[in-house]
Chains A and B, each alone.
Chain A
Amino acid sequence: MAKRPRRILRRRWATTEGWRATPAGMWAWLAQRAAAVALLAVIVLHLRNPFWRPVQATLLALVLLHGLLGVRAIVLDFGLPVRWHRALLAGALALGVMAFAAVWGWRWY
């Protein structure tokens, strides 16, 4: 008798239900990857005109987001309790906002 193919459900990311109750750790992972991809495009724009302020701001924001989420992943790798990962995400985002405000508010040229 032919074996019936198995039916396996997968989360449907194109639906609201698929995204509902998405854990914070997944957002952190997704934001870091999205920032990396966006950085590629923004760096190209930045190289064409390094003095374009909106591109400078975007570049700084993306670098901070990508870097600080990377630091979050590294400290978890080094043994910080995974139960703290939500607090680490909040901390990374807060630190990113503060660093952006400090650097952007400082008239350095």
Chain B
Amino acid sequence: MVLKVFRWAPGFRERIQRFWVPAKEGMTVLDALVDAQRRLDPTLAFRYACRVGMCGSCAMVVNGKERWACRTLLKTLKSGIVTVRPLYHFPLVRDLVVDMAPLAEQTARVGGAFVPAAGPPTAARIGRDAAERRHIDPAIECIGCGMCMSACTMVANDARFPGPAALNRLFTLEEDSRDVGHAGRAAVLLSEDALTRCHTQANCTEVCPMEISPTQSILALRRRAARRLFF
């Protein structure tokens, strides 16, 4: 199979380099990249850690779609040529490696940290089957892989848009009865560059490897904001 890999380093022009890699049964895109790096070009840079689909480090754009390289089998791509690019909308470091800092920066900027109530800390009293827990649970498993930000067309067009991951994080906090930071986040959420900017294209939902739907979270925040306007 042919692996077409985006190559770039500071001070050099970008290019697409082709690697011929012998495809094997059960081979993933990450396996192919490792093979190319070991046998053909040790300067090829990409990031990975767990190799088993837990950490999200190997997120990249494979054949035009954001995917986990370690969980993407070559045979599922239905093509003898596989194009690999780094995630979009993140500063490039080198080749397929991007700087993930914007993800944390955007989350911090919009108040994505838990704000506890004043006074001594108390044990949480939210039952296993509580409606609140059932509501929040589907949105809490974000691993910060950045695929949603890469897939989002609004992140591409509005630097002030916090992005799906940050807004999903805000949803988990806004729905959490223990959190008291709602007033601080209201201005951000109701600004013209946050909730109303989402075009509901669900690109983030389509690519999330944890099957989270940031779009669902954004729509829930919108409904919450609308209720506050009228009630």
Contacts and interface: CB of A to CB of B under 8 A. Distances in A.
A4 interface: yes
B91 interface: yes
A7 B65 CA distance: 20
Given A26-B201, A29-B200, A77 B219 contact: yes
A20 B64 contact: yes
Interface in B209-228: 213, 215-216, 219-220, 222-223
Interface residues of B, number: 34
Interface of B: 6, 8, 10, 63-65, 83, 85-92, 99, 151, 153, 156, 199-203, 205-207, 213, 215-216, 219-220, 222-223
A19 B153 CA distance: 12
B92 A7 contact: yes
Provide the main secondary structure of the chain B interface. mixed
A81 B203 CA distance: 15
**Which of B63, B199, B215 gathers the greatest number of chain A CB atoms within 10 Å?**
B199
A89 B89 CA distance: 28
A29 B92 contact: no
Contacts of A4: 10
Nearest to A89: B202
A101 B83 CA distance: 42
B203 A25 contact: yes
Contacts of A40: none
A20 to B, nearest CB: 3
Contacts of B151: 23
